[in-house]
Amino acid sequence: MSGSVLRRGRILALLVVALTLVAALVAGASPAGAKGGSGKGGGNGLPHPPEKEATAVGHGGAVTSLDPYATRAGLEVLQKGGNAVDAAVAASAMLGVTRPYDGSIGGGGFFLVYDAANDEVTSIDARETAPAATTPTVFREDGTEIPFAERRVSGLSQGVPGLVAGWELALEEYGTVPLHRLLQPARVVAERGFVVDAEYEERTRDNLEIFADFTSTRETFLVDGAAPAAGTVFRNPDLARTYKLISQGGADAFYEGEVAEAIVDTVQHPPVVAGAERKVRPGLMELDDLDEYEARWRDPTAVDYRDHTVFGMGPPSSGGTTVGEALNILEGYELSELPEADVLHLLIEAEALAFADRGEYLGDPDFVDVPVEGLLSQDFADERRELILEPFAATPKPLPAGDPDGAADDGVVLASAVAATGSTTHLTTTDRWGNIVALTFSIEQIGGSGIAVDGYGFLLNNELTDFATEPGLANSPDGGKRPRSSISPTIILGPDGEPFAAYGTPGGATIITTVTQVAVNLIDLDMDLPDAIAAPRLGNINGENTNFEATLPAATQEALKAYGHKLPTPAADPVGNVNGVQFLGDGGLLAAAEPTRFHGGSAAVVQPVPH
């Protein structure tokens, strides 16, 4: 199955839309007091939001995500007999309603799947693609780089969305519940409304200046020109209608017909408000770009770390290779026997080395030869480890790339790492049969391009800004090419070959450093998943400064500075937003999400036990 390409199926056309309401999601949901129309909210007769818990222990399956509505949607699928893939689709559709600025059908993502019956890990690449008309100099004008803010808020940044095709491909192979039933909970909440929380209000407010400059975005996501207030009800009937179209026609209803036409019109003619001073460039997407989009099976990456096997996402994501290389470098140290500062010092050094190689070699494997086997070989990691100084001291950064086996001698220029936070969302599901899905998807920045598809209720991504702006690099733009990603859904098998943990996170380039650190916390430092998630984070993407959270103890900061690391100021925002599941043996599950970062995440199990 891995490595093959499957055309979007035509098997879901003309499905009958089920009308059964999901009681737990809409308990008490009355439209009374909520203003009608897209993007309007109100303050009376509120729906009751699901309870949000960061940790859950039990059996029978689990769901974790950034949002309680999404976790509940996935959990109810499991309770009704669906599997982990079914639950992941339902939860991701709900996140498109209640967390639309992080990931939605306007973007793409990567699925990592553990098939328990076959004891096999597979992966789906639903990454966005550049329109066919894209050239290597698309982000340059008069020989100079277009400023990032202008690249982001433009049609040029909008890649062909892949999430819907990813849903369909995953369900064709593994699903047991029809797509229309999986989308129904999200449809109901989009139509009837959900209770806005502080995180939703803050993210809308942070994007207010951009959203207000586009008629479609203003009408869809603002209330009288302002962010909806926490505690009020917000409704998106346009997105409910779009989900209904997809329910009836499958992925074809998104990649062909009225939705596809509206996407192309938005890309080519961004709906800028009259009088707005923002310079907004049109994009290059055509209907054929949507019609020809394919979600693809890819080979996952795998490395042996200590006595565990760590699976990740292969190219065009750089997550699996970069996490895997860093862990292979760390393999040469007994981290469990070292003090905290030494562990973090080595983590910084291993990450910087792996990021140097990421910048040189990672790109879309359909366009460039990515030396995956060489990057993940222990021999290469041993060679790279020799650059770490003994006795311990920080190496000057940025570090040069290495020369793994299989690297093409094609004159590709080293691309230094660029700090990027981005906005993304992650969810993890597992079922009573032991199947697992780690799904990370995104529209890139918080709010994506900032441009909504008029009348259809979703924002378009700005994922093409993940390309380098210079031609001639492994990650330079090209027609039909997928930009390099940092997305790193991760599944770890234990010494017995059974599932040990599955997790992931948003965070741009810091996804990789966060996933690596959580793996070290779990395997080397013997933390349970909630503690591994809660621990203070830091990371280095081969830059002069190391990114760190203010919660990192002052004594640890001083010890790292004494080694020569530069930790100038803590990160303004938390680093990462992890959720996942740890497998306790005998069917026991420990589901965990962030306890406090970004107002905390949501974890639930089918059969909870006290903890």
In contact, 593 and 66? CB cutoff 8 Å: yes
- Please give the C-alpha separations between residue 346 and each of 13, 332, 354, 395, 566, in angstroms, as whole numbers: 53, 10, 12, 11, 14
Q: How is 549-570 classified by DSSP, letter by letter?
A: -TTS-HHHHHHHHHTT-B--S-
Q: Which H/E stretch holds residue 116?
A: none
DSSP for 426-438 reads EEEEEETT--EEE
- Give the integer Cα–Cα distance in Å for 568 and 571: 10
Residue indicated by tokens 């998104």: 254
Centre a 10 Å sphere on the Cβ of residue 351 and count the other Cβ atoms it contains.
Answer: 28
Give the separation between CA 6 and CA 527, rounded to whole angstroms. Answer: 40
Contact 593, 64 (CB under 8 A): yes
Q: Token pair 């916390």 is at which residue? A: 521
CB of 189 closer than 8 Å to CB of 97:
yes
The first and second tokens of residue 348, run together, are 């910084």
How far apart are the C-alpha atoms of 336 and 345, rounded to whole Å?
14
Check if 395 is active-site.
no
Report how far Cα 610 is from the mean position of its chain's Cα atoms: 31
Catalytic residue among 424, 465, 490, 556: 424
Site of tokens 């430092």:
525
C-alpha 563/C-alpha 357 separation (Å) is 24
Nearest-5° Cα angle at 154, 131 to 449:
95
Query: Which of 400, 482, 383, 402 lies closest to 442, judged by CA?
Result: 482
Spatial separation of the C-alpha atoms in residues 564 and 396, rounded to whole Å: 9
Tokens representing 144 are 């100079």
Name the DSSP class of 21.
-
- Between CA 406 and CA 606 the distance in angstroms is 46
DSSP reduced 3-state for 227: coil
> Phi, psi (5° rounding) for residue 548?
-150, 160
Angstrom distance (rounded) from CA 463 to CA 152 = 8
Quote the tokens at residue 271.
């709906």
| CA–CA–CA angle 301, 306, 307 (5° rounding) | 85
DSSP string, 384-414: HHTTS-SS--PPPSSPPP---TT---S-PPP
DSSP state of 470: S
Catalytic residues, by residue number, are 424
